[in-house]
Structure 1
Amino acid sequence: MKNKILILFLFLNTFLCFSQNPWLQAKGEYLLSPSLTHYYTDSKKDENSIKSDFDNNGYYKNYVYKLYFSTSLIGNKLNLIGNIPYIKSTYADDFTNNVNNELGDVELGVKMHLKKLGEFHYLIGSLTAITPLYSNNNQPFVGFGKFGTEIKINISGKSKWMGINNNYHQLELGFRKFFNEGPIQIKLYGSKAYRITKKIIVLTDLDVLISKGEDFNVSQENIQITPDFDFVKATVNFGYEFSPKFALYAGGFKDLLNRNVSVGSGWQIFSVIKL
């Protein structure tokens, strides 16, 4: 859900520098990417995408602190990947002020090189296990509280006509299933990055998420556990490359289309560190 905003553009870990199979870490290499994301909403859309404000001047906001990591298991063919989130969430209205701070859904899995496609593109696959590290005893809830799994197929590469070291794009299709009657989610993600100057990079992406589960109205107090919804989100980030091993990015995102879910926007800051 919204507190699990996936910073998929972390695959910019190569800083737009091409080498053999650049999308995975080689033996002895480590990638760390800490991030901070802020999300805010005070409105929602119903099953017919009709927008309304939260009742009683209500609003929801969160701050999500994440640490993404990747390292080699087998050369640059198979990587261990992980994502550890800590979530500070607030729901408040004229009568309520609930705050909840705890770990979220931890992800641990593998990412593998499947095939080289032509001269400048790669087919990448990943398989991830999802483990909830929270109890959902305090509101607002931070997730479904269910174990899950996710499989993704990704095509990553560069356009020669834009300059091999100056651009990057990817297209990704993901399938996520939460167990114990949890929802099934399908995700489509596309991104494009371009180096404006030697040090500055602009990154845009579009995120489509379709979730199918038990159908019920959006709870403005617990928007993170609505199982049946759709949304389209756009993001723009600008990055500065201090060195080939360290870059810092910042940007914002906004919902474009929504069904049966909150309508919001936010900002994020993240760094990419190679060791």
Structure 2
Amino acid sequence: MSLFKTFTRFSFFLLILLTASKTVVFADGGFPVRPGRLLIAPSASYFFSNTQWDSTGVKKSFPNSGKYTSVGITLYAEYGISRRFAAIVSLPYVYNTYTQNIAPRTTVTSGLTDLETGLRYYLFNIDFVYYFSLQGTAITPTYSNNPNLGYGEEGGELKLAFSGTGSLFGKSTYFNASDGVRQYFGNNGPIQNRYTGTFGITLDDEFKNQISVSLSGINSFSDDKKFISGIPETNRNYSFIQASLSYGYSFTRELALYATGGEFLTGRNTSDGTIFSLALIYRLDYR
């Protein structure tokens, strides 16, 4: 496998992870969804990278002055089935471009990636302030024979989440924390631990403006640890931590817009990059 193909296979899958992780601010956690409420969240993201961390965590430039950019579009939806259950679905589309100073100078790949469908169960709450949930998710590739869009393997994830509200300096606050274990069912896994923590605060009494900070990461483990020049052939054994800052504005109770910027803090066998995203949140009640 060529170095360039190795890199693109790794980078395209990394973008899938980033596209999924940016929805944490408004969608991830244990807060219940009202029965009969449908939350629709289309989002768009832009990712840029020209450096990477090797297997020892040392940062270096991509070979041949390489640069990677990607635009991702994700449709996320969540529906409250009952007081205890909610259904979740997420589907990303990516358009990726890699440029370097040798042939091929520009390579473009695009397509739908992995469909995620899940069921969330609200375990219990404490005084209707703190909420706990358990979610099971199925991962289904929407492509075939295209390693540039992901593993091409089915998988499953089980995730626990804890959410709550409070106050700080007279302003309303909230937090979400989640930790999930994901297993892909193909050869050499991988098995992954995915974690996220978010803290947000409202800036006015009308609850129209809010800011939040998030810290998220993935630890991926596999018996397949092969890599070339610090770039893994199949991106099955890696880790990273990412920090994000978001601003949200609520136009109405049903409509809100979130802008997010994220930066990698550390990593191993993964890219260093910056991501920007916009997400529109629309709520519809059917009961």
Same fold (TM over 0.5): yes
Distance 2:120 2:76 in 1: 13
Q: Is the CA contact 1:150–1:174 (under 8 Å) kept in the aligned structure 2?
A: yes
Distance 2:27 2:169 in 1: 19
Distance 1:84 1:150 in 2: 16
Distance 1:54 1:234 in 2: 22
The one of 31, 47, 71 equivalent to 1:23 is 31
Distance 1:217 1:264 in 2: 19
Paired residue secondary structure (1:130)? strand
Q: Which AA in structure 1 matches 2:114?
A: D
The one of 193, 196, 202 equivalent to 2:203 is 196
Matched, 1:58 2:66: yes
Distance 1:144 1:91 in 2: 19
**What does residue 239 of structure 2 align with?**
230
Distance 1:76 1:224 in 2: 44
**What does residue 79 of structure 1 align with?**
86
Q: Which AA in structure 2 matches 1:247?
A: A
**What does residue 278 of structure 2 align with?**
269
Shift of residue 93, structure 1, vs aligned partner: 0.9
**Higher relative contact order by CA 8 Å / sep ≥ 6: 1 or 2?**
2
Distance 2:111 2:229 in 1: 20
Distance 1:60 1:193 in 2: 31
Moved over 6 A (4+): none
Paired residue secondary structure (1:64)? strand
Residue correspondence of structure 1 range 48-127 to structure 2 within 5 A: 48-73=56-81, 75-94=82-101, 95-96=103-104, 97-127=106-136
Give the direction of change, closer, same or farther, for the CA distance of 1:239–1:107 in structure 2 (3 Å limit): same
**What does residue 11 of structure 1 align with?**
27
In structure 1, stretches of 5+ residues that fail to align are 14-21
Q: Which AA in structure 2 matches 1:11?
A: A
Shift of residue 4, structure 1, vs aligned partner: 2.5
State which drifts further: 191-200 or 154-163: 154-163
Q: Which AA in structure 1 matches 2:109?
A: N
**What does residue 175 of structure 1 align with?**
181
Give the direction of change, closer, same or farther, for the CA distance of 1:161–1:193 in structure 2 (3 Å limit): closer
Length-normalised TM-score, structure 2: 0.85
Shift of residue 38, structure 1, vs aligned partner: 1.2
Shift of residue 3, structure 1, vs aligned partner: 2.3
Distance 2:122 2:15 in 1: 29
Q: Which AA in structure 2 matches 1:207?
A: S
Q: Which AA in structure 2 matches 1:216?
A: K
Length-normalised TM-score, structure 1: 0.89
Distance 2:193 2:136 in 1: 14
Shift of residue 135, structure 1, vs aligned partner: 2.6
Give the direction of change, closer, same or farther, for the CA distance of 1:78–1:218 in structure 2 (3 Å limit): farther
Shift of residue 202, structure 1, vs aligned partner: 0.2
The one of 255, 269, 272 equivalent to 1:246 is 255
Distance 2:145 2:221 in 1: 21
Shift of residue 244, structure 1, vs aligned partner: 0.7
Paired residue secondary structure (1:243)? coil
Distance 1:130 1:175 in 2: 13
